[in-house]
Structure 1
Amino acid sequence: MSIKRLTQLGVPIGIVGIVVMLVIPLPTVVLDLLIAFNITGALLVLLVAMFVNRPLDFASFPALLLVMTLFRLALNVSATRLVLLDGYAGKVIDTFGHFVVGGSLIVGLVIFVILLVIQFVVITNGAGRVAEVGARFTLDAMPGKQMAIDADLNSGLIDEAEARRRRAEVHGEADFYGAMDGASKFVKGDAIAAIIITLVNLIGGFAIGMLQRDMSAGDAVTTYSLLSVGDGLVSQIPALLLSVATGLVVTRSVSQDDMGSDIVRQLTQNKMPLRIAGFAALSLCLIPALPKIPFLLTGGALLLVSSRIREDSTEVKALEAASTTTGAVVPDTPENLAHEMQVDPLGLELSVDIVDLVDQGSGGDLLDRVQALRRKVAMEIGVLIPPVRTRDNVELPPRTYVIKLFDIEVARGEAPAGTALAIGDYLGSLPGEPTVEPVYGLEAKWIPRELSSQAELGGATVVDRTAVIATHLADVVTRYAARLLGREEVRLLTDVVKRTHPVVVEELTPTQLSLGQIQRVLQDLLEEGVSIRDLVRIFEALSLTAAVTKDHDALVESARASLGPAIVAPHVRDGAVHVISFEPTLEQRMLEAVRPTEQGPVLVMDPVLAQRVVGTLAHLLLEAENSNLRPVLVCAPQIRLAVRRMVRPAIERLPVLSYSELTGSAQVRSVGVVSGEQVAQVVS
């Protein structure tokens, strides 16, 4: 039989054996062996609890605690049976009853009571309370932890596999503390059972000795009472070990090391407390009545340990910073001035009171999320955004952050310290400051961070400050992606494509188009929210069109045509794309009104008619959005760009697609048609 099979059958067989012990008498030799196993097993559990790095590493502890408690009670029943029947329960119990307590019933009872007080009053009550509070806090924090995992996943800080692992860990932690809350009741019940069993043994043994065995009162007390006390001590020692293990597990915080390493490191991380304690121990030697040697040894040991500790790392860092500050001043050379004059493409400035968001020492992870944001943007829209220059700004109002593009402010928001952003419709009962979510314009409120769980139970979505800033920054980067795509970024993207598709790049540039012309095409695609990640298809389409014409608008439209399914995909909802279109007669009038200009094709229409068309589109878009739809406007390819230029100033959020780009979409559903009659009815 394999080892795995043995481990699967071992626990069920052991539990069945425990049940058998409750009803079948055991020989004294077997009882001695099981008692030794019980004490050793409890010691092993205690040591394992001390060496785990986090409570979840010992997830089987609640079930193990129940099994070992049942095992110990079964041993109590077997020992009681032998004590009352034979007046002898093996060498282990006999030794504990005579040798360990010196054969004195009073001493044995006192030690037994002290062990019960330590276990029941001190350790078990404390561990039970910690387990209860830990279970409640873990369950309350569970929605917030899941929201944080989702925020990290959406920002690109973690992948799907890591998100699943963290969610499983959160659920496992909640289940563990819930189980520990119940398991702590086993320990408390075990202590009560030990008292009752010992009293039953004392009274029953005294009665059996005098009534059945015709023993004198003194002999009955000597024989049965010492055995009962020995049985109680044998059971209370492993019970005490398991109680201590329970306390260690529920009070263990998450760490990278075992408990012993953590305690030693944290007690010896600073020499000053050790020195003070050492001198205090030595000063006690001045009291005449106290012995000198114990305090001299203790104080000397503490001073010796303090002398071996290195300087505190914080002090070393402060000294290094001071030496750096007092160093030579960097001269204002032309090279240094030129470097400082450079404008950062993307910047994030924080007011002084929210700089903790970037301080990793205090738990701030904004820099990590910003780093992950760059990867997320690259994967979604294909743009290699430059590093985000993050700095503090003492001139900003409190709790304010500013997002800058080429040193020009483009967005501003707030992130008050000690708060979280609650988003929802029913926030009136929550204390806090009303605000508006910076990206989607939703009603929100800055609430105290401690009320996050309460807000989530009320149906609100709670987002931490870091996620708010990261989401706002992602929105800014997406909206201004075209401006962030510089010539150098285009060259880098072209070199990447050249490694895998050299023929495509060599045919296109520099023979047909320059990097500048390619940059303009990519920027126009980004302006309309089109991802440029599939550069191979874009370059192939540009190469075919450039062989016929170098017209910029024609190049853009050919690139869009090659990306048709990718352009439509973000607008598909429930397997369909919802569209607004023009009536054929109106579309024909618009085709006749297209005129080429130096800035590209435009619609030369009557201003009143054009304004009514835009007004009708805005009305249809609003009706669709009220039905929770996100429609697109579709038209003939010949007028798509001109229509986009007419619609964009008034309705920027309405995408304009051509019929050719809808090819291959799952399903097209019309949510409105702009007709000549509708346009005539709309008041400008």
Structure 2
Amino acid sequence: MSSSVTPAPASPFARFAAVPASLALPVGIFALLALMVLPIPALLLDIFFVLNIAISIAVLMVALNARRPLDFSSFPSVLLFATLLRLALNVASTRVVLVHGHEGGAAAGHVIESFAAFLVGGNFVVGLFVFAILMIINMIVITKGAGRVSEVSARFVLDALPGKQMAIDADIAAGLVTADEARERRREVTVEADFYGSMDGASKFVKGDAMAALLILGVNIVAGFAIGMISHGLSATEAGEAYVTLAVGDALVAQVPALLLSIAAAAIVTRVSDQRDLAGQIGGQFADPRGWLPVALILGSVGMVPAMPQTIFLPAAAISAAIWWHLRKRAAAPAPLAEPVEDVAPDHIALADVADSTLVTVELGYGLIGLVDAAQGAPLITRITGIRKQLSRDLGFVLPQFRIRDSLDLAAQDYAVMMGGVSIARGSVRSGKLLAIDAGDVRPGHGLTGEPTRDPSFDCPALWIAPAARDHAVAEGFLVVDPASVIATHANQALLAEAHQLLGPDEVREWVDGLKARAPALVEAVTPDPLPLAALTRTLRALMADGIGLAHPQPLFTSLALALQKTTDFDTVIDAVRADLSPRLVARIAGPDEALKVVTLDAGLEGAILGGMIDPATGQPLIEPDCGAMILREVNALADAEKGPIALIVQPPARRALAALVKHRAPRCMVLSIAELPAAQPIAVVGVIGAAPEAAALAAPEGIAA
């Protein structure tokens, strides 16, 4: 047995609901134009008058309930359309009044008749005075004041716009906000400027509407007298009763919604951003009991004067006293207890309890807690924020936020810089003392006493001294820093050496998006084809580990795009980019007109390294421990003799193995392949590692310039 169901025909309401919402405004505007041009019956005119009043009340309620001005950012446009509706109704009602006014009050619609008969008692002279008073209140008091506030607010907001944009840029550079938060704040700043600029112009709508209402009333009165006496043979009194009364009622019908919209505009532009609506904001600020007792006393004193109406003043004083008593009692009541927290099972473990999403953490012993105490100025937080901003500028991408916390695993005066849960730097400082560092400028026999130590950042001899000896230390040539600066500088050096580990896919995506806005074709040549996000992240991390930062993305991406045209092999691409950007590498240790101090390997030693064992996983040569120790010893000795950085020049196949050997054990030596030496860079050979002393002396008696 089968059955079929015939679908019910779609109702007209369903078809109407299917009309796109984007057509509502165009249809509404054409309806307003039709009101101005086409004659409409009195019943339809009454409906539109009631709709106009309802819209004005709704706009006023939304304005009063908004928590901040931007919550009603569409108000200027709403004010425009409400003004157009009111003017269209004025035109339509003028046509009805002038054409059918001689037939009686009901001919113009019941709304106009009711306003003319009820509000002014049928006396058009009284109606004229009431209309004039409403015009004065609207134009001179409310509209003029709201217009002035809008003008000043727009000027102040536009003047403050560059400062707000710079503050957002500073916050994102310091890592105080994320990219999405900064984007949202920029959008709010832009919307705020547009809103107050629009409100400055929208206030002219209200003023122009009031002037139009005055002119329309004048036209209705003059034309009503003329039409009544000439076309319909009425006397002046009869024409005044018939036409002028309806004209005044028509003006009052339009003026009441206009007054409501003026109040809404004034309420919007005079608002101050708050978490409460206007009623809650005013009520909360009037809830102080100290303000109501003087009111009760003054009203009571005035009520005791014999000439005053005691039946009004004394009850008002009693009400004020009751309000004071109630507010005072409520203020003295204890705060309500917080809702009990739902008990958690003892065996429940949340992911947040065992996972730390912060990549970089600075841990402090309990004796260093004062460095992050807000009462003492939190000097360490300020320093850490500064180095994070500086590192972000040097590396070319925004570093994730750091975390500072205490640790019971550390001694009282110790600290540790953790990256991904692994310690990359440790040290000890003396809280309440200063570190005087001997950077080479200290005079012999200085006489400064203190606790001997080594500067953790640059391994220079130093002394922990009392703050009172600061001036003495500076006079003797010491560099004096506080404990917070010692920790921050050490963290800066450690993070700079491991900066490539701070670069993740999210940072790369944001970095690429910034470059895409300036060079979209260049970005398309690299990612996502042939390098997807993961491969691009790996490549950029490798380049950063080799000392090539991301602060100048366009040359880096250009070199990367050219290398990818030849091959997509990872190691070959890295070597090609390094060779292309070799001036940037060399500039870290020598200027363009300064001779680069280079060290080479003896041909036999280099041949032994290249011809020795090979790591099957990476294909790189393996350096024997004794050979590696000898190379490190001689490299450090040459760096000490030259008192500055040097470069070890090797064959390209040996660069990676030797760079991994000396990176952390000889930080003053940079390993470069022969292909990475800039052609225009002058060089001076200062030593040959692994050669006999006589051969080394012959190889570089005074240095060779090229």
**TM-score class, shorter:** 0.5 to 0.7
Aligned partners of 1:640 and 1:658 also within 8 Å: no
The match for 1:425 is none
Q: Verify: 1:40 aligned to 2:67, yes or no.
A: no
* 1:348 Cα deviation from its structure 2 partner: 5.1
Aligned partners of 2:598 and 2:685 also within 8 Å: no
The match for 2:69 is 55
The match for 1:290 is 308
The match for 2:136 is 117
* 1:658 Cα deviation from its structure 2 partner: 3.6
Aligned length: 479
Residues 418-567 of structure 1 mapped to structure 2, 5 A cutoff: 479-481=489-491, 526=495, 528=497, 530=499, 564-567=542-545
Q: Verify: 1:162 aligned to 2:181, yes or no.
A: yes
User: What percent identity do the matched residue pairs reach?
Assistant: 33
Amino acid at match of 1:587: T
The match for 1:105 is 124
CA root-mean-square deviation:
5.0
Q: Which moved more, 1:566-575 or 1:674-683?
A: 674-683
Output the CA distance in 1 between the equivalents of 2:90 and 2:219: 11
Output the CA distance in 2 between the equivalents of 1:570 and 1:300: 80
The match for 1:347 is 371
Aligned partners of 1:525 and 1:531 also within 8 Å: no
Aligned partners of 2:599 and 2:685 also within 8 Å: no
Cα distance 1:645–1:79, how it changes in 2: closer, same or farther (>3 A)? same
The match for 1:520 is none
Aligned partners of 2:300 and 2:313 also within 8 Å: yes
Amino acid at match of 2:252: L
Q: Verify: 1:587 aligned to 2:600, yes or no.
A: yes
The match for 2:204 is 185
Amino acid at match of 1:44: A
Output the CA distance in 1 between the equivalents of 2:602 and 2:48: 97
CA shift digits 1:345-371 (9 cap, x unpaired): 67157899x89x99xxxxxx989989x
Amino acid at match of 2:215: I
**In structure 2, the residue corresponding to 1:287 is in which secondary structure?**
coil
* 1:132 Cα deviation from its structure 2 partner: 1.4
The match for 1:144 is 163
Of 12, 16, 36 in structure 1, the residue corresponding to residue 26 of structure 2 is 12
Q: Verify: 1:278 aligned to 2:256, yes or no.
A: no
Residues 323-334 of structure 1 mapped to structure 2, 5 A cutoff: none
* 1:5 Cα deviation from its structure 2 partner: 3.7
Q: Verify: 1:173 aligned to 2:219, yes or no.
A: no
Gaps of 5+ in 2: 1-14, 102-106, 336-364, 408-427, 436-481, 505-538, 560-580, 590-594, 607-625, 648-653, 687-699
Cα distance 1:585–1:27, how it changes in 2: closer, same or farther (>3 A)? closer
Q: Verify: 1:27 aligned to 2:41, yes or no.
A: yes
The match for 1:466 is none
Bigger Cα Rg? 2
Of 672, 681, 684 in structure 2, the residue corresponding to residue 676 of structure 1 is 684
Aligned partners of 1:383 and 1:481 also within 8 Å: no
* 1:69 Cα deviation from its structure 2 partner: 0.5
Output the CA distance in 1 between the equivalents of 2:267 and 2:604: 79
**In structure 2, the residue corresponding to 1:579 is in which secondary structure?**
helix
Residues 651-662 of structure 1 mapped to structure 2, 5 A cutoff: 657-659=670-672
Aligned partners of 2:433 and 2:483 also within 8 Å: no
Of 253, 261, 264 in structure 1, the residue corresponding to residue 280 of structure 2 is 261
Q: Verify: 1:601 aligned to 2:611, yes or no.
A: no
Of 93, 96, 102 in structure 2, the residue corresponding to residue 82 of structure 1 is 96
Aligned partners of 1:84 and 1:205 also within 8 Å: yes
CA shift digits 1:552-586 (9 cap, x unpaired): xxxxxxxxx99744514762433154221898974
Output the CA distance in 2 between the equivalents of 1:366 and 1:117: 57
**In structure 1, the residue corresponding to 2:368 is in which secondary structure?**
coil
The match for 2:216 is 197
The match for 1:571 is 549
* 1:596 Cα deviation from its structure 2 partner: 8.8
Amino acid at match of 1:47: M
Output the CA distance in 2 between the equivalents of 1:11 and 1:58: 18
Aligned partners of 1:138 and 1:174 also within 8 Å: yes
Output the CA distance in 1 between the equivalents of 2:656 and 2:434: 35
Give the TM-score normalised by the residue count of structure 1: 0.59
Output the CA distance in 2 between the equivalents of 1:591 and 1:95: 113
Of 408, 431, 437 in structure 2, the residue corresponding to residue 407 of structure 1 is 431
Give the TM-score normalised by the residue count of structure 2: 0.58
Aligned partners of 1:32 and 1:90 also within 8 Å: yes
CA shift digits 1:29-62 (9 cap, x unpaired): 1111111111111111111111111111112211
The match for 1:300 is 318
The match for 1:250 is 269
Output the CA distance in 1 between the equivalents of 2:540 and 2:120: 91
Cα distance 1:382–1:148, how it changes in 2: closer, same or farther (>3 A)? closer
Gaps of 5+ in 1: 318-340, 359-364, 389-403, 412-471, 483-523, 536-560, 618-633, 649-655
Output the CA distance in 2 between the equivalents of 1:245 and 1:562: 56
Of 85, 106, 110 in structure 2, the residue corresponding to residue 91 of structure 1 is 110
* 1:155 Cα deviation from its structure 2 partner: 3.0
Output the CA distance in 1 between the equivalents of 2:86 and 2:540: 75
